Amino acid sequence: MDSVGVAAAAPDAGPGPAWQSKCPWGAPSTTSISCSLADVMSEQLAKELQLEEENAAFPEVVAAAEGPFITGENIDTSSDLMLAQMLQMEFDREYDAQLRREEKKINGDSKVSISFENYRKVHPYDSDSSEDEVDWQDTRHDPYRADKPTTTPRRGFIGKGKDITTKHDEVVCGRKNTARMENFAPEFQVGDGIGMDLKLSNQVFNALKQHAYSEERRSARLHEKKEHSTAEKAVDPKTRLLLYKMVNSGMLETITGCISTGKESVVFHAYGGKSATEDKVIPPECAIKVFKTTLNEFKNRDKYIKDDYRFKDRFSKLNPRKIIRMWAEKEMHNLTRMQNAGIPCPQVVILKKHVLVMSFIGQDQVPAPKLKDVTLSSEDMKKAYYQILNMMQQLYRECNLVHADLSEYNMLWHDGKVWLIDVSQSVEPTHPHGLEFLFRDCRNVSQFFQKGGVAEALNERELFNAVSGLNITADNEVDFQAEIEALEKMNEDHVQNHGKKLSTFSSDGDPPIYDE
């Protein structure tokens, strides 16, 4: 790599710049870099430091060629290349981050700056950091629209006599070319021409256009590849890397295989390893829930999280990728609440980005069956029903949660009892749609047990009242639903007017207290 020119120009007395670092696989440099106040305040730097910290939590073992990923027994050498590529990817990203820091340091506040862009390893279109930024289309108004350049009418000229201007006029053409740059792909950086009377010659414009198109095609190809591999291997390379790290760090012994692929998540089974910290014990068997980073499926789940006041402030500032991490985070918090209340549910082991590791419900790699798939004796069926009634009450009263996707699909039968899973969408009862979600849960549970022959099973309205402690008296579905919505609206109005929630819905069987 020829970097003499730039290196010589750099008035840098600090440690050697990143491009001089030797072998990519060499020991990571631990030299600390002194930083200016500007650096300390820099958001960019903060992000990078966080990244480094996250990575430090999972020390990189480069020589992991024999590391068991899918199974510990068959050493799958085909994944060596994949692993190498992923580590290279990680390295490139770190290298670029370092490069950016040095670029910043060298340039300081100077008006003239040196760009290290060409030394970056990751193509700007693939760069990770761009994914964390808000899409520019959302934030940048279209600066070229403000003053439209003069266009020549159909007839090809304007003006009269010697003031005539044809469409071949250099100035008009130049302005027009500048304006036409807006047709380039949004990621194509055409520079900041706002407020300038930019006139691109046809030659320059055509060259730019050509470049923009080929870059666009290149980018499309790359994305296609990425997406394809997601479909093929169930998880994308970045997720694989996260999983590798968990195995390499010894936290997990082996990831044995996939238990379930849903629309929104993929669940793997793993044997637990050793925790880095003494006080934490990794369960012998773990379930790894990977929230899918393909965004489409999550769009219709907005309403769960957008209206959840716990996440409200954060929601508006987030891009879809972060929102998916938030689903995982939500599942973790909700599971912890349930665990604390003593509800049988998976125990959280660790959360890394969109990957949640929890204890495995089942044994010897065989997951516990869903309630919909087991045939229970009528005695067990009745037992399960009362247990669920109890759990729903605990969930509501002690955890202050409504499951919001409760059905025989998300309840497992294990060890002679029912375990609740899949709580990423669970909300608090005062969520604007919380009571509607609860009613839907009640309907599912009622119907399942009534069909299952449990004579004691309450109907959905009775169950709703029994769980919530509300006393809605409507004796038909429609009126009942209407009352639920009226309650929700009352609560929302209260929030609007008073900026706070009502003293939640009563938890001791009395009607709710509304202090109006």
Q: Provide the pairing of β-strand 355-359 with 348-352.
A: antiparallel
Site pattern 240..279 for ligand ADP (x: CB under 6 A) = -------------------xx-x-xx-x------------
Sign of CA dihedral 335, 336, 338, 343: positive
Cβ atoms of 29 and 52 within 8 Å: the answer is no
Q: Which of 346, 429, 434, 512 binds ligand ADP (CB under 6 A)?
A: 346
Cβ atoms of 406 and 445 within 8 Å: the answer is yes
The nearer residue to ligand ADP, 68 or 346, going by C-beta atoms, is 346
Which residues lie below 8 Å from residue 65, measured CB to CB, with a gap of 6+? 77, 80, 83
Catalytic residue among 308, 405, 422, 441: 405
| Contact set for Mn ion, span 382-441 (CB under 5 A) | 410, 422
Q: Contacts from 490-496 at CB under 8 Å and sequence distance 24+?
A: 490/514, 491/430, 491/432, 492/432
Cβ atoms of 384 and 418 within 8 Å: the answer is yes
| Torsion angle in degrees (nearest 10) through CA of 182, 183, 187, 188 | -80
**205 CA to centre of own chain:** 39
Applying CB under 6 A, the span of 56-64, 124-132, 145-153, 362-370 interacting with ligand ADP comes to 362-370
Angle at 366 between CA 364 and CA 367, to 5 degrees: 125
Residue 345 phi/psi, 5-degree rounding, is -160, 165
The two tokens of residue 459 are 């109907």
Check binding of 330 to ligand ADP (CB under 6 A): no
417 binds, among Mn ion, ligand ADP, none (CB under 5 to 8 A by kind): none
Shortest distance in whole angstroms from residue 362 CB to ligand ADP: 5
Check binding of 362 to ligand ADP (CB under 6 A): yes
Check binding of 289 to ligand ADP (CB under 6 A): yes
Q: Which of 293, 334, 410, 446 binds ligand ADP (CB under 6 A)?
A: 410
Q: Which of 173, 358, 389, 470 binds ligand ADP (CB under 6 A)?
A: 358
Cβ atoms of 397 and 297 within 8 Å: the answer is no
Shortest distance in whole angstroms from residue 353 CB to ligand ADP: 17
**Catalytic: 135?**
no
The nearer residue to Mn ion, 184 or 409, going by C-beta atoms, is 409
| Contact set for ligand ADP, span 412-431 (CB under 6 A) | 421-422
Residue closest to ligand ADP (Cβ): 262
Query: Exposure of 421 by Cβ count < 10 A (0-12 exposed, 13-18 middle, 19+ buried)?
Result: buried
| Contact set for ligand ADP, span 487-506 (CB under 6 A) | none
264 binds, among ligand ADP, Mn ion, none (CB under 5 to 8 A by kind): ligand ADP
Q: Which of 209, 238, 333, 370 binds ligand ADP (CB under 6 A)?
A: 370
Interface residues with ligand ADP (CB under 6 A) are 259-260, 262, 264-265, 267, 287, 289, 346, 358, 360-362, 367, 370, 410, 421-422
| Active-site amino acid positions | 405
Interface residues with Mn ion (CB under 5 A) are 410, 422
